[in-house]
Structure 1
Amino acid sequence: MHLVINPQNPEVSVRLADEGFAPYVWCNDFSFEVRAYAQVDLHTRVDEWPLHRITPYRKCYGIDPDEFASYRGAPDSAVFMAYLDGQAVGHVVVSTNWNGFAHVDELAVIAGARRHGVARSLLDVVRFWSHKKKLPGIMLETQNNNIGACRLYERCGYQVGGVDHLRYRGIDPQTAEVAIFWYLLFEKQA
């Protein structure tokens, strides 16, 4: 797909996913370039985390739209798609986790649409969805090789709630990839 974006004022809109979700996923590139692994420090900002530079490579998580088919129309979950100037460019899958938090199961923006406010718009919709359900906050996971996502979550008010150094060792015993769990806690309403 060739993406044409109005560089002066791209318009982002978000709505519930429809039958176009699967074709959109299968036809797009959600990969990103990994240039470093961050050493997570709970007491400093993301931009201050030490980086271990590596030979760059492309990282692509296998996104399977069928995995989330039951989320559409269910009371405790939703799939939203983002459109930039009318073209489908991103999505977020959210559900209510066992601990009562909204859980972002997946957030992805196609490579050509990044840095246009798409991910932030999707996170705003998750926040609205979570407030509407009177949940105490939102949780999500990313990895220390997705530093751009870490910066975004921090800018959106999320805080690191935990780090798991072993989560990906079953896939690759030598991996430097670390899971980072982010939380956005809502203030209790009186």
Structure 2
Amino acid sequence: MQAVVNPKYPGLSVRVADEGFDAYVWGNDFSFEVDVYGTPELGKPVDQWALEQVLPYRKCYGIDPEEFASYRDATDSAVFMAYLDDRPVGHIVVSTNWNGYAHVDELAVVLAARRYGVAKALLDVAQFWSRKKNLPGMMLETQNNNLGACRLYERCGYVLGGIDHLRYRGIDPQTREVAIFWYRLFN
């Protein structure tokens, strides 16, 4: 796949992940600040969700590049990296899910590169990959403490398809994190 260039940010391009993927992941900060939890509701835009303010903290998913080693060069999955002025600044991991949808297994943008269209460019490339495979759409999951991501998915045409209040309770019985499943249907 050729590099895809974003006309709004000419220094931004997306390419298939290369041998530098591991070093890029280990050397970057993908955390984000949480200061609010949203209460997702089917059929309501993100900006209309009830909000609960919380004491700010940093959320980090602890990304492990080895987890996705088998996704590279496979027929049913791919790893793409975004570059801003030839510096790696984001990645997306996409695979064919059991239900036939493309599944975004991971989407991450380094802290310093946010608000430059990186995540949207990665989603666009994953959508191109999905359409090329004749999949009916894409799906992904985020949480109610990542409202920036929720707003992005909504702007990109994703619709809220499911809400799971119990998904993270096995990790922390007291958590307020809620899993939110987003879908981008092609037809």
**What is the TM-score with the length of structure 2 in the denominator?**
0.95
Q: Give per-residue Cα distances to partners, 1:128-164, cap 9 Å, x unaligned.
A: 0000000000000000000000000000000010000
- Distance in 2 of aligned mates of 1:144 and 1:18: 32
Tell me, what secondary structure is at the counterpart of 2:42?
Answer: coil
Q: Which amino acid aligns with 1:137?
A: G
User: Which residue is equivalent to 1:12?
Assistant: 12
User: Which residue is equivalent to 2:94?
Assistant: 94
Name segments (4+ residues, structure 1) moved above 2 Å: none
User: Which residue is equivalent to 2:35?
Assistant: 35
- Distance in 1 of aligned mates of 2:80 and 2:44: 32
Within the alignment, does 1:125 sit opposite 2:125 as a pair?
yes
Tell me, what secondary structure is at the counterpart of 2:67?
Answer: helix
- Distance in 1 of aligned mates of 2:63 and 2:49: 29
Q: CA deviation at 1:13?
A: 0.3
- Alignment map for 1:105-120 (pairs within 5 Å): 105-120=105-120
- Distance in 1 of aligned mates of 2:9 and 2:93: 26
Q: CA deviation at 1:9?
A: 4.7
Tell me, what secondary structure is at the counterpart of 2:47?
Answer: helix
- Distance in 2 of aligned mates of 1:113 and 1:128: 23
CA contact (8 A) 1:10 1:116 kept: no
- Distance in 1 of aligned mates of 2:10 and 2:107: 20
- Distance in 2 of aligned mates of 1:41 and 1:11: 37
User: Which residue is equivalent to 1:3?
Assistant: none
- Distance in 1 of aligned mates of 2:157 and 2:86: 28
- Distance in 2 of aligned mates of 1:10 and 1:93: 23
Q: CA deviation at 1:43?
A: 2.1
User: Which residue is equivalent to 2:4?
Assistant: none
Task: Please provide the CA RMSD for this pair.
Answer: 1.0
CA contact (8 A) 2:15 2:80 kept: yes
> Which segment drifts farther, 150-159 or 38-47?
38-47
Q: CA deviation at 1:173?
A: 0.2
Q: CA deviation at 1:10?
A: 5.3
Q: 1:122 to 1:162 in 2, by over 3 A?
A: same
Structure 1 gaps of 5+ residues are: 1-7
User: Which residue is equivalent to 1:104?
Assistant: 104
- Distance in 1 of aligned mates of 2:43 and 2:137: 21
- Distance in 2 of aligned mates of 1:9 and 1:143: 28
Q: CA deviation at 1:30?
A: 0.1
Tell me, what secondary structure is at the counterpart of 2:92?
Answer: strand
- Alignment map for 1:1-190 (pairs within 5 Å): 9=9, 11-187=11-187
- Distance in 2 of aligned mates of 1:30 and 1:84: 16
What's the % identity of the aligned pairs? 73
